[in-house]
Amino acid sequence: MLAKKRVLVGISGGIAAYKMPETIRLLKKAGAEVKVVLSPSACDFVSPLSLAVCSGNPVTSELFDVHTGHWVNHVELALWADIMLIAPATAKTLSSMAQAHTDNALLVTWLSSRCPVLVAPAMDHDMWLSPLVQDQVRRLAQHGTQVIPPGHGALASGLIGEGRMQEPSQLLRHLECFFLKPTNLWGKTLLISSGGTREALDPVRFLGNESTGKMGAALADVAKAAGATVWFAQGKNSQEPVLTPDRVFPFQSALDLQQIMESQAPAADYIFMAAAVADYRPKKVESQKIKKQSGGLNQIDLTENPDILKGLAGLPKRGTLVGFALETEHGMQHARQKLDRKMVDFLVLNSMEHEGAGLGHDTNKVSILQPGNEEIHLPLQSKLQTAVQLINTICS
Ligand code: C5P
Instruction: List, for residues 246-256, the tens digit of each pLDDT value.
Output: 999 999 999 99
* Phi/psi at 40 (5° precision): -55, -40
pLDDT given at position 383 = 96
Bridge-based pairing state of the strands 206-207 and 199-200: antiparallel
Q: Is the pLDDT of residue 360 over 80?
A: no
Q: Whose C-alpha lies nearest to ligand 1, atom 3? A: 325
Q: Is the pLDDT of residue 296 over 70?
A: no
Cβ of 251 less than 6 Å from ligand 1:
no
pLDDT given at position 294 = 66
What's CA 250's distance to the chain center, in Å?
Answer: 18
210-238 mean pLDDT: 96
269-291 mean pLDDT: 95
Model confidence pLDDT, tens digit, residues 164-200: 999 999 999 999 999 999 999 999 999 999 999 999 9
Q: Whose C-alpha lies nearest to ligand 1, atom 13? A: 309
Kindly give the number of the ligand 1 atom that is closest to the alpha carbon of 311.
20
Cβ of 178 less than 6 Å from ligand 1:
no
Contact status, residue 63 vs residue 57, Cβ threshold 8 Å = no
How many residues would you count in the chain? 396
What's CA 137's distance to the chain center, in Å?
Answer: 21
Lowest mean pLDDT among 22-26, 36-40, 150-154, 290-294: 290-294
Write down the CATH number for the domain with range 189-394.
3.40.50.10300
Cβ of 258 less than 6 Å from ligand 1:
no
Cβ of 118 less than 6 Å from ligand 1:
no
Confidence label for 352 from pLDDT (cuts 50, 70 and 90): confident
Residue ranges, comma separated, of all CATH 3.40.50.1950 domains in the chain are 6-180
Cβ of 190 less than 6 Å from ligand 1:
no
Confidence label for 90 from pLDDT (cuts 50, 70 and 90): very high
Please tell me the distance between residue 276's alpha carbon and the centre of ligand 1 in angstroms: 6
Lowest mean pLDDT among 90-94, 192-196, 237-241, 291-295: 291-295
Please tell me the distance between residue 313's alpha carbon and the centre of ligand 1 in angstroms: 12
CB-CB neighbours of 203 under 10 Å: 12
Confidence label for 299 from pLDDT (cuts 50, 70 and 90): confident
pLDDT given at position 357 = 77
Q: Whose C-alpha lies nearest to ligand 1, atom 5? A: 325
Q: Whose C-alpha lies nearest to ligand 1, atom 18? A: 277
Cβ of 275 less than 6 Å from ligand 1:
yes
- Residues belonging to the active site: 209
37-60 mean pLDDT: 97
Write down the CATH number for the domain with range 6-180.
3.40.50.1950
pLDDT given at position 274 = 97
Confidence label for 26 from pLDDT (cuts 50, 70 and 90): very high
Cβ of 309 less than 6 Å from ligand 1:
yes
Please tell me the distance between residue 277's alpha carbon and the centre of ligand 1 in angstroms: 6
pLDDT given at position 298 = 78
Model confidence pLDDT, tens digit, residues 101-156: 999 999 999 999 999 999 999 999 999 999 999 999 999 999 999 999 999 999 99
Residue ranges, comma separated, of all CATH 3.40.50.10300 domains in the chain are 189-394
pLDDT given at position 361 = 85
316-332 mean pLDDT: 90
Question: Given ligand 1 and candidates 251, 277, 369, 390, which is best to mutate, with the most ligand atoms within 8 Å of its CB?
Answer: 277
Confidence label for 94 from pLDDT (cuts 50, 70 and 90): very high
pLDDT given at position 34 = 98
pLDDT given at position 295 = 63
pLDDT given at position 239 = 95
Of the chain, the percentage scoring pLDDT greater than 70 comes to 99
Q: Whose C-alpha lies nearest to ligand 1, atom 4? A: 325
6-26 mean pLDDT: 98
Cβ of 209 less than 6 Å from ligand 1:
no
Q: Is the pLDDT of residue 355 over 80?
A: no
